[in-house]
Structure 1
């Protein structure tokens, strides 16, 4: 299992930051590793969806739990990725700390390549978070 944690400080209100990150249909705009998202069902704050990732256009199923103004927890339930991606917002002296934490591995025979993709995911996460930060602060 690869653990990746990236965080950044944003000059923003919690409401504005949440408004941007909780629009999960916009994920491909910020996350270059996500090519497409398709919502399959919504029950309360839980969204089941299919995402197409850039790695070989693989499709993965996710359950996304929205915890308003606090966190978004995406659990990969089927596909080449196993694990979670959690984005949290923490108010801090008039600013917001946005943190993305991954606990992820490749499934099946691809598991041996988990270490190889760790740096790729970390780099993509850093890029996505800077893009989200610019959007929120813009």
Structure 2
């Protein structure tokens, strides 16, 4: 069993964090171990999808979206089985983004379990940093109209 936990504080509201992470079709951008996702069925906040990993291995996931709280992902078939929980907690004006993965590896992946474990830790760290970067770079900075120095002379 591989367990990975990654956390980061984001200078934003939980709603803004949710708006980014809930666009799950963009997961390959944040999770570098995925190359493609394809939703196969959807029922309300629950969906099933096929995930193509970077090594071309195909896996199945069941995903449940909990608006503004997080996402629960169960890997059901493929070289990875287990869960990934992405949780959002508003703390004052900031939001704590946590990722917890509990995976079992199957097939040839078991042979490389130590290196895959390290890759998963790196992937989780990169993912939370990419989410933070995505959110904080898009926040509007307050601006005020500026005057030219020549305009101030005439006042």
**TM-score where L is the length of structure 2:** 0.84
Q: Could you say what secondary structure the match of 1:105 adopts?
A: strand
How far off its partner does 1:112 sit? Answer: 4.2
Displaced runs of 4 or more, over 4 A: none
Aligned-residue RMSD, C-alpha? 1.1
1:1-138 alignment, distance < 5 Å: 1-54=1-54, 56-108=55-107, 110-138=109-137
Where does the alignment leave 5 or more consecutive residues of structure 2 unmatched? 138-155
How many residue pairs get matched?
137
Shift, 1:108, TM fit: 3.9
| Greater CA drift, 28-37 or 112-121 | 112-121
Give the number of the structure whose alpha-carbon radius of gyration is greater.
2
Q: Distance in 2 between matches of 1:114 and 1:82?
A: 13
Give the whole-Å Cα distance in 2 for the aligned partners of 1:114 and 1:69.
33
Q: Provide, for residues 75-108 of structure 1, a one-character-per-residue CA deviation record: whole Å limited to 9, x for no partner.
A: 0011110101110000112100000000012124
Q: Is the Cα contact below 8 Å between 2:109 and 2:116 reproduced in 1?
A: no
**In structure 2, distance between residues paired with 1:97 and 1:113:** 32
Runs of 5+ unmatched residues, structure 1: none
Q: Report the TM-score, using the length of structure 1 for normalisation.
A: 0.94
Query: Separation in 2 of the partners of 1:118 and 1:109?
Result: 14
